[in-house]
C-alpha cells in the first residue's frame, strides 16, 4: 500500500517526538510491505519565525495532498508570556483545524498494566479504565463571532455559537463508536444555564432514536469533571462541545500516569490528523528527554483510523506495551531504573518491530 504522510513537527519537543514516530512508521512499512513517503511543513511559532504566519499556505497544501498528517506540538514561551501578541502559534492550530475540516477530536483514555500504579488515582479507580472523548473541534466559543474588547479595553467578550448540523455530525461519530464498544454514550453539556447546551441536548435526544441499542446518559460538565476522578470506569464514549472537551480531556489525560502516553486523532472531511495530547514542553526541547510514546501511539491510531490497517496499529501498540513492561522508558516514567533518551526509546521500538 502506498502511504503519503504529512509531517508537522511544530515547536519545542515536537520535532524530537515526531522523529521517533517516523522511525516506527518506517519499521511498520518495511514489516508489512507498505511504500511510504513523507513531506514536512511548518506550523506554530517556528512558522511565525520563518514566514510570519503560524499556518502558511505551503503547509496547508502539504496536508491536503497527504493521506494523513502526523502533528507534534505548538507553543513558545515568548508568545505565552505576551498576551498582546498579534500573531500567536495557537492561531495556526485553530486555522489548521478549520481549513482541514477537522471537526472531531478523538481522545482515548486507557491505562497500561505495567504503569497503573503511576496514576494519581487509587488502583481500584483506574485499573481497567477505557473511555474515549469525541470533542467538537471547529465550533463553539473558540470560533464564534463577535469577539474582542471594547474601545476602552476594560471589557472582553467571546461568543459561543453552535448549529444543529455541527452537533449532529459529531454526535453521530460518537454513537457509531459506542455501537462498537460497550454501547454507552454520555452527552456532556451545561443545559441548565446555556442555550447552546440545550441545543446540544435536544439534538442528541433526537439522534438517539436512530440508535436504540445505545444507552444515552446526559450529564452536566461540572458533574463529569468530578466523576472522572471519582469513578472514571463509569464512562465509555463521551461527546461534548469544544471548550468543555478541551478542559475535560486534559483532566482525563493524567489518569494513565503521564501526559506523555496519550494519543489523539482529529477527523474531518478532507484529511485525518494525529497528534500526542501533550504540549510543546519547551523546557525539555533539545535535551533528548521527552517521552515519544504518545506520538508513537498517535501513529498507531493513524494506521487504524486513516488507513484501516488494524494489524499495523496493533503491532505498534503491542511494542509500546513491551517497552513499558521492560523499562525502556524516558525519565518521566522511569522508576529506580535507568531512564533512556527520546531517541533510544525510538530506536528500541523500531528495532523490536523489525525482529518481532
> Nearest 5°: phi and psi at 131?
-135, 170
- Report how far residue 117's alpha carbon sits from residue 73's, in angstroms, rounded to the nearest whole number: 27
Q: Which range is least confidently modeled, 53-57, 110-114, 175-179, 185-189?
A: 110-114
pLDDT of residue 82 exceeding 80, the answer is no
Reported as a single tens digit per residue, the pLDDT across 160-178 is 999 999 999 999 999 999 9
Tell me the Cα Rg of the chain. 20
Burial label for 322, CB within 10 Å (0-12, 13-18, 19+), is middle
Q: Which segments within 33-124 are labelled E, that is strand?
A: 35-40, 68-73, 102-110
How far lies 106's CA from each of 110, 323, 328, in Å?
13, 25, 27
Other Cβ atoms within 10 Å of 217 Cβ, number = 14
The band of 21, judged by pLDDT with boundaries at 50, 70 and 90, is: very high
80: pLDDT confidence band, cut at 50, 70 and 90? Answer: confident
Q: Mind listing the domains of the chain with CATH numbers? A: 1-102+262-356 (3.40.718.10), 116-257 (3.40.718.10)
Parallel, antiparallel, or unpaired for β 130-136 and 237-240? parallel
Amino acid 132: pLDDT: 97
Sequence-distant (6+) residues with CB within 8 A of 58 are 41, 42
Residues 6 or more apart whose CB falls under 8 angstroms from that of 223 comprise none
Spatial separation of the C-alpha atoms in residues 253 and 132, rounded to whole Å? 11
DSSP per-residue string spanning 253-279: HGGGS-GGG-EEEEEESS--EEEESS-
* Share above pLDDT 70 across residues of the chain, in percent, rounded to a whole number: 100
* Catalytic residue IDs: 142, 190, 222, 246, 250
Q: Give yes or no for residue 247 having a pLDDT over 90.
A: yes
Q: Alpha-carbon distance 228 to 246, whole Å? A: 14
Phi-psi region of 132 (alpha: psi -120 to 50; beta: other; left: phi over 0): beta
Predicted TM-score of the model (pTM) = 0.90
Average pLDDT over residues 322-346: 92
Share of the chain above pLDDT 90, in %: 86
Q: What is the pLDDT of residue 257?
A: 82
Residue 83 has pLDDT above 90, yes or no: no
Contact predicate 324/348, CB 8 Å: no
Whether 337 has a pLDDT exceeding 80, the answer reads: no
Q: What is the pLDDT of residues 184-220, one digit of tens each?
A: 999 999 999 999 999 999 999 999 999 999 999 999 9
Place of cell 452536566: 220
pLDDT-based confidence at residue 335 (cuts at 50, 70, 90): confident
pLDDT at 30 > cutoff 90: yes
Mean per-residue pLDDT of the chain: 94
pLDDT of residue 219: 98
Whether the predicted pLDDT of 85 surpasses 90:
no
Element (H, E) at 220: strand 215-220
Q: How confident is the model at residue 51 (pLDDT cuts 50, 70, 90)?
A: very high
Q: Which of 297, 195, 162, 188 is nearest to 247 (CA)?
A: 188
Amino acid at each position: 500500500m502506498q502511504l503519503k504522510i504529512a509531517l508537522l513537527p511544530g515547536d519545542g519537543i515536537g520535532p524530537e517526538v515526531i522523529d521517533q514516530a517516523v522511525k516506527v512508521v518506517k519499521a511498520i512499512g518495511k514489516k508489512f510491505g507498505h511504500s511510504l513517503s513523507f513531506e514536512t511543513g511548518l506550523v506554530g511559532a517556528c512558522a511565525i519565525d520563518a514566514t510570519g504566519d503560524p499556518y502558511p499556505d505551503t503547509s496547508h497544501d502539504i496536508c491536503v495532498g497527504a493521506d494523513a498528517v502526523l502533528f507534534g506540538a505548538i507553543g513558545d514561551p515568548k508568545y505565552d508570556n505576551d498576551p498582546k501578541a498579534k500573531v500567536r502559534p495557537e492561531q495556526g492550530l485553530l486555522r489548521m483545524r478549520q481549513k482541514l475540516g477537522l471537526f472531531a477530536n478523538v481522545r482515548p483514555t486507557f491505562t497500561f498494566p505495567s504503569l497503573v500504579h503511576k496514576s494519581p488515582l487509587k488502583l481500584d479507580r483506574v485499573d481497567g479504565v477505557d473511555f474515549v472523548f469525541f470533542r467538537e473541534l471547529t465550533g463553539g466559543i473558540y470560533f464564534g463571532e463577535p469577539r474582542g474588547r471594547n474601545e476602552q479595553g476594560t471589557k472582553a467578550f467571546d461568543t459561543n455559537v453552535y448549529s444543529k448540523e455541527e452537533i449532529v455530525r459529531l454526535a453521530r461519530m460518537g454513537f457509531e463508536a459506542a455501537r462498537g464498544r460497550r454501547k454507552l454514550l454520555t452527552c456532556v453539556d451545561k443545559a441548565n444555564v446555556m442555550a447552546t447546551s440545550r441545543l446540544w441536548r435536544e439534538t442528541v435526544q433526537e439522534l438517539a432514536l436512530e440508535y436504540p441499542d445505545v444507552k444515552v446518559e446526559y450529564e452536566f460538565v461540572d458533574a463529569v469533571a468530578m466523576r472522572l476522578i471519582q469513578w472514571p470506569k463509569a464512562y465509555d464514549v463521551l461527546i461534548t462541545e469544544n471548550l468543555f472537551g478541551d478542559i475535560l480531556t486534559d483532566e482525563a489525560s493524567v489518569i494513565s500516569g503521564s501526559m506523555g502516553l496519550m494519543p489523539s486523532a482529529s477527523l474531518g472531511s478532507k484529511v485525518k490528523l494525529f497528534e500526542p495530547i501533550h504540549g510543546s514542553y519547551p523546557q525539555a526541547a533539545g535535551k533528548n528527554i521527552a517521552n515519544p510514546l504518545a506520538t508513537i501511539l498517535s501513529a498507531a491510531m493513524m494506521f487504524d483510523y486513516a488507513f484501516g490497517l488494524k494489524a499495523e496499529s496493533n503491532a505498534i501498540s503491542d511494542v509500546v506495551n513491551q517497552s513499558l513492561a521492560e523499562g525502556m522508558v524516558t525519565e518521566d516514567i522511569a522508576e529506580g531504573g535507568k531512564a533512556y533518551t527520546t531517541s533510544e526509546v525510538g530506536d528500541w521500538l523500531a528495532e523490536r518491530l523489525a525482529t518481532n
